[in-house]
Structure 1
Amino acid sequence: MRIFPVLAAVLSFGFASAVQAQSCGGNFGSFVDGLKSEAASKGHDRSRIDSFFRNVRQEQGVINADRRQGIFQRPFLDFSRALISQGRITNGRRNHERYRAVFERAQQQYGVPPGILLAFWAFETDYGAVQGDFNTVNALVTLAHDCRRPELFRPQVFAAIEMYRRGMLDPVQTRGAWAGEIGMVQKLPSDIINYAVDGDGDGRIDLQRSAPDALMSAAAMLRGKGWRANEPWLHEVALPQGLDLRRTGIRTEMTVNEWQQLGVRPTHGSLPSGNLRASVIVPQGHRGPAFMVFHNYRVLFEWNQSFIYVTTAAYFATRLSGAPVYQAGNPETGLNQDQMRQLQQQLAQRGFDVGGIDGILGANTRAAVQDVQAELGLPADGWPTPQLLRML
């Protein structure tokens, strides 16, 4: 058995060799002047820099959207049912047929199967229908100036300048998500610079209007982040009575054979090669659905850092690939947002790194909950309950 560290809360985006704290806050105009100076130090022409920043302004709507992400506080069953509709399944199948040749090429060149690309395409923009209407430059500079996640967004500003230099972005006209993501599969500028592909062969890359460009670019990015061809990502399983629940969670990895020897069984079909290493996760506790997850599941955190989002997307990809609906089980009652914050405060006071008091059950909080459950003699499945909160 091998224990993995909790997934990092911040991931590198390619334009910085290491994730470091960046200057933020203060007067917005002075902050922009600092960005201009840094852009010049990186070799950008002064006239291009001035043109890029000429109309930039701070947008409170971006900050409001960043603070208003309540859907990520929902438990897995509620979250997945909210995101996976019959319409998205039907449209997924239609788009698979419509772009079958593109999906086949993406799988042949990059090893990424259609289900994965369809799932993210659906969740990000409803297959291109809803791409966002925020000015991309304003969004990125606003979030770089805000002191919540400057280490993520400041490098993206300079990636956007590089996109402008290459003719891939218009500082006034380019619009997308509130977080500065662009196109049908909502990618940040550094990932566009590093992985964008001309999927339709027209000599240009248009991630907003060309589905082949967007899909091939998404596949290229996943491959570049470590996706392994011909390997699984997630498979629903049933847990045996008496399983030591401390083994569940993304921190623990064993071979498929070792899990099967403990009595873990697939709910449908068969599990992959017994030598593959895997974890078993129970996103809503041991009385809810259980999944065996593999290396490729971990790669999906390069797309989105939310445990609940990645798990739902990975599951939806299996549905689009022919898997049945999960066995929902009968999970124990969880915590509301205020209770979750109280729990995180209690855990932080005990010395656990919960990744911030945000009311969201992320990977860090789950790991801390699991450790405390084991200490208190509760089922150590990482799913916090009112009973656990009372005991703390």
Structure 2
Amino acid sequence: MRFAAPPCAARLFAAPLVAAGLSLIAAPALAAPCGGSFPGFIEAIKAEAQQRGFSRADADRFFAGVQQDQRVIRADRAQGVFRMSFTDFSRRLISQGRISNGAANAQRHKAIFDRAARDYGVPPGILLAFWAFETDYGAVQGDFNTVNALATLGHDCRRPELFQPQIHAAMQLWQRGMLDPARTTGAWAGEIGMVQMLPGDILERGVDGDGDGKVTLKTSVPDAILSGARMLRDLGWRKGEPWLQEVTVPANLDWSKTGLDKQLSAAEWGRMGVVPRHGKLAGNLPASILLPEGRKGPAFLVYPNFNVLFEWNKSFVYVTTAAYFGTRLQGAPVFNAGNPDPQLSEGDMKALQQKLQARGHDVGSVDGILGAMTRPAVQKEQQRLGLPADAWPTRDLLNRL
């Protein structure tokens, strides 16, 4: 599952699967009011559906059993797992069983993975990594009623602009016989199937890999793998290019040059003493040095394809772990954990974020998570204070601030 990370936003524009006569999912949402009465919200959604081309009778049938699900709200508010360090998070998600099952699935479905690589340019490792983390290779796909989940989140006022259009996309899937509002289940955020895609993404990027005329992500491995590959390709995945490789870095590296917001060519990093632990540096490709736990912890060189993965999941630690696992499934060694400085507690991290905000840095939410917005702010303050600017917050930095 995707734990409690915000799901990727569907790219809501015209798709081959959209039915003739119905408004495209890209049509501007009519913004049913969030909050307030849930039955009143459903009535507003039904009215929107009629303006998009559904009959009132169809709308009534689709929403006949819809219910608000408080489990969805609780899951949406739970972010604790993403406060873990990269080392702890990766050890939690990457087991020998997942490695062995990944190898077995790669062999069992070789023809499908070959097709994904040929047609969409996405290699097996990264697809297997997401398949493993999202649903344990299809074994655990979630037991939340999909329509209830989408309606609950569309009614909630945190991200109605994301989830309300997904309700209408689910209605279009229903019309094609690809979703049953009473029985279709999935993740708490309304994602469906082995690789957990939102209804809008299924409409837009779903691939009928097994030729049965439908996109069935819950039970068809070809459909799931090829749909995931197409989604990554459409999000910007570049064929034939790496995404991440572990490296060793010299002790005298200019740490202020590290981070996802700074790039040199892989060859330039090599001239600065950066050495890959597996394979070769990717020549003239732009690359960033990623130090998920600072200069004393693991070190990776990441390429443009790595940034594409944030369109699948917004969590820094999740994306980094999935990217590493993808390389591991393709033969990379176990990463060198090093000996990083201790991680700040949740309370200390929130205090740090508040101090960074007070100094004018945009860290997003004060949530105790060292994410992609907090790291650059940490690095800038480290530079200002004359500390090693490796973007890993320490007790010393907190005390100085």
TM class, shorter-length: over 0.9
* Residue 366 (str. 1) matches residue 363 (str. 2): no
* Residue 322 (str. 1) matches residue 322 (str. 2): no
Deviations along 1:300-323, one digit per CA (max 9) or x if unpaired, are 111111111011000000000000
CA distance in 1: counterparts of 2:335 and 2:326, whole angstroms: 12
* Residue 346 (str. 1) matches residue 343 (str. 2): no
CA distance in 2: counterparts of 1:116 and 1:164, whole angstroms: 30
Kindly tell me: are residues 61 and 229 of structure 1, through their superposed partners in 2, closer, same or farther at Cα, counting changes over 3 Å?
same
Q: Structure 1 counterpart of 2:246, which letter?
A: E
Pick from 269, 278, 286 the counterpart of residue 279 of structure 2: 269
* Residue 64 (str. 1) matches residue 61 (str. 2): no
CA distance in 2: counterparts of 1:24 and 1:381, whole angstroms: 42
Q: 1:373–1:382: 8 Å Cα contact kept in structure 2?
A: yes
Name whichever of 175-184 and 242-251 sits farther off: 242-251
Gaps of 5+ in 2: 1-5, 14-25
Note the 1:197-212 alignment, pairs <5 A: 197-212=207-222
Gaps of 5+ in 1: 1-8
Kindly tell me: are residues 21 and 293 of structure 1, through their superposed partners in 2, closer, same or farther at Cα, counting changes over 3 Å?
farther
Q: 1:59–1:139: 8 Å Cα contact kept in structure 2?
A: yes
Note the 1:1-392 alignment, pairs <5 A: 12-15=9-12, 23-272=33-282, 274-392=283-401
SS in 1 for 2:263: strand
CA distance in 2: counterparts of 1:75 and 1:69, whole angstroms: 13
Name whichever of 260-269 and 135-144 sits farther off: 260-269
Name whichever of 338-347 and 211-220 sits farther off: 338-347
Deviations along 1:109-136, one digit per CA (max 9) or x if unpaired, are 1111010110000000000000000000
Name whichever of 69-78 and 154-163 sits farther off: 154-163
What do you get for the CA RMSD once the two structures are aligned?
1.9
Kindly tell me: are residues 10 and 57 of structure 1, through their superposed partners in 2, closer, same or farther at Cα, counting changes over 3 Å?
closer
- CA drift of 1:10 comes to 8.9
CA distance in 2: counterparts of 1:353 and 1:41, whole angstroms: 40
- CA drift of 1:202 comes to 2.5
* TM-score under structure 2 length normalisation: 0.92
Q: 2:12–2:201: 8 Å Cα contact kept in structure 1?
A: no
What count of residue pairs does the alignment treat as equivalent? 383
- CA drift of 1:150 comes to 2.1
- CA drift of 1:289 comes to 0.6
Deviations along 1:340-386, one digit per CA (max 9) or x if unpaired, are 11111121222211111111111001111111111111111111112
Q: 1:24–1:31: 8 Å Cα contact kept in structure 2?
A: yes
Deviations along 1:14-42, one digit per CA (max 9) or x if unpaired, are 22769999542222122222222222222
> Among the aligned pairs, what percent are the same residue?
59
Deviations along 1:222-254, one digit per CA (max 9) or x if unpaired, are 111111110100011111122111111111112
Name whichever of 201-210 and 9-18 sits farther off: 9-18
Q: 2:82–2:369: 8 Å Cα contact kept in structure 1?
A: yes
CA distance in 2: counterparts of 1:278 and 1:19, whole angstroms: 37
Q: 2:12–2:200: 8 Å Cα contact kept in structure 1?
A: yes
- CA drift of 1:43 comes to 2.3
Q: Structure 1 counterpart of 2:76, which letter?
A: D
CA distance in 2: counterparts of 1:20 and 1:290, whole angstroms: 43
- CA drift of 1:80 comes to 0.4
SS in 1 for 2:174: helix
Name whichever of 336-345 and 279-288 sits farther off: 336-345
Name whichever of 356-365 and 120-129 sits farther off: 356-365
Name whichever of 233-242 and 146-155 sits farther off: 146-155
SS in 2 for 1:363: coil
CA distance in 1: counterparts of 2:362 and 2:130, whole angstroms: 29
Deviations along 1:260-317, one digit per CA (max 9) or x if unpaired, are 2222111222112x21111111011111111111111111111111111011000000
Q: 2:143–2:185: 8 Å Cα contact kept in structure 1?
A: yes
Q: 1:140–1:154: 8 Å Cα contact kept in structure 2?
A: yes
Runs ≥4 residues deviating over 3 A: 9-12, 16-23
CA distance in 2: counterparts of 1:112 and 1:253, whole angstroms: 23
* TM-score under structure 1 length normalisation: 0.94
